[in-house]
Structure 1
Amino acid sequence: MSEPRRIVIVGAGLGGASAAAAVRERGYSGEIVLLGSDPHRPYELPPLSKGVLLGNADEPDWVHEEKFYAEKDISFRPGVTATRIELGARQVLDDADGVYPYDRLVLATGSEPRRLPVPGGDLPGLYTLRTLDDSLKLRSAFAEAERVVIVGAGWIGSEAAAAARTHNAEVTVVDPVPVPLANVVGETIGGVFRDLHVSNGVNYRLGEQVAEITGGPEGVTGVRLANGEEIPADVVLIAVGAAPRVELAHAAGLELADDGGVAVDAGLRTSAPDTYAVGDIASHFHPRYGRRVRVEHWANAKDQGTHVAQNLLGENEPYQASPYFFTDQYDLGCEYRGLANPAEDDLVVRGDLQAREFTAFWLHNGEVTAAMNVNMWDDGDALAALVDGSTKVTPEQLKTADLASLT
């Protein structure tokens, strides 16, 4: 495969910016075009629901310094939205009639917040959280609000609830699930997060469906549940997950996967020649798991963006990293590595759940599929090795042995 003359990257988030930088670090001297619909330069998303929303920071973690793109001769185009990909002609078109021919194409278009398909779901004044501007607006709203309702008890909803309580708002979280986060960490560990929020004054309405967002042209006034009860609110945040932005890929004719993402092989290649996808939209055939995996966390975008650079330049290396994410809520911090199925895997806990100082492991056929350290920070390398190595261990070893010795 000859070296491309021009690489076009659609999406200037962490995945796209990491790909552009990694290509240059590998000595590529051709043209790089980085298109991003956000008006800001590339930034990382985790601080938006953590430090920025809490008021501890006014800026996110920028992927690179502002001068980086010019210094590395990366043609960064902020505020430019790609509207069409013409695979046959090998070009991308934007919303201002710009045309960008390419030899290699990377799609890193990320996700967008899902909407709530109920009456009032499009009322003015409803909040979602995805961008820096979203976070700053929501922070201001939290600071002025007396009553906040958050629809969705996942990671974003949970972190936003912690931020709203820090701003002294009364907070109610509504979700049809019986236990927050149970689909990711199971009911036992999900219960730890529920109890954490309850101890900090959050009101949960679990097992409840939202029937309507109430209000009018002036904004929202509350949330009506399926049982007819209305919960008054000054601010309503919809945090019911994110949908991969695959419209461009779908319209271009790229193969989509059953999980809604763009189907890519182990090396992050799509169904079209010289076209790759990374980050939230990439439904990646993971060699270790033997199936497609689509991960929406920041580490996946960063690592896939970095990894795809070598394949853009002619290599064919599979991406094999384990999923990773972290969260900070009140005085709880944790990291999660791997990919568990809580409904089928065995949970092993090392430490004290009540004190919220523990490590949770998930085992399948005696192998560690995932590990989560909560307010314990000494064993990160050992946990990564246990997960990455699919290490065979017993529950008793995980509870009592030196973890490094098990790797």
Structure 2
Amino acid sequence: MCSNVFGMYHISNYLEQVTESEIKYIERICREHHVIINIQISGSCEECKKMENTKKNRFQNIECWDSTQVCLKKKGSNYIHANYVDGFEQVRKFIVTQEPMDNTLEDYWSMVWRTGARVIVMLNGTDGPAVPSVSDYNQLEGFTVTVTSIAVQKDYVEMGMNVLNINTMRSNTVHFFKYLSWPKEGITDISTLISFMIAVNERHQYYMKPALMNPPSPIVIYSTPGIERAPTFCAVDISYYCTGGVSITKSFVAITLQLDFSWLTLELTFARMANNLLIFIPVSDYIQRAKDPKWIDIVVQKHLQVINLTIASTCDIFYLPRNRKKNRNMKYPCWDISRVVLKSKKGSDYINTNYMAGIDGRCKFIAT
């Protein structure tokens, strides 16, 4: 129904609608809002309403869908007010949750550990200090959390953490991002949010590469109530990594099916997103830009950026004497981190072949 009523807007078309007429734009918002709030979404929220679980809900009027709820799989209660949310062509890319309380802090870190999450995003904006306090982590029984590094940027803080599981004595590195530029009232600057989102995804991609064949770990995202800001971050991420189109209705419905969500924050954020975001250059615009004498300088700068990228990997298996005869050309090495391993073959498991990820970060190709 939604796709038939509104469909997909390209950014330029959406911006045109925003700026053409304020009255028409408000009317469109009202029509769209009417359609969205009347969509029948089937699903239950029984777990969050159970008497033993209500004390784990920061707000009793914000429900947690059973179908996408994160299950802790621990002794006692398995419940935590957290839901999986799919990204663009990536199942369960996010976990959206409420800010942990004193009585849910142990469950929160248990969730981070059990899901293998390596990136946490806090969207409380200007609320609280720029560098979050970790003194409460001393109360944990099953985990020891220590801060190993703090990097303060203009609009966010990134903290490196070592999370030690006391029961197994194994540890993981977790990166905690706090976004500083979301005001208490209103919407953040979308350019700033997208820059922050890219930084988060780059850190997430770093931990996805060594495990291309395994389900990637989720990004844990939370704001105080677990609605509005956190789902908006997911919706912007989905639209950004999709096609450069802006589909408010589709993004909203997809996320609402996975968690309770406020619509207006997303609408306002996409309006700003359309005004600032350039993802793809149409062919006609590209040809026009290529006629500019300065175009060659831009191309050279982009080329220098690409060739100066640091690739953290080795090609040791490729250079082993027993494998050299399997390489058609020694000029083209095979990365250890993503090479295909012939597990079922006796003798050498080497072949000059690498897995390659698609746009969603999962293994899509084998290049040989």
TM score, norm. by length of structure 2 = 0.24
- Select the structure that is richer in helix: 2
Larger Rg: 2
Ranked by relative contact order (alpha carbons within 8 Å, sequence separation 6 or more), the top structure is 2
TM score, norm. by length of structure 1 = 0.23
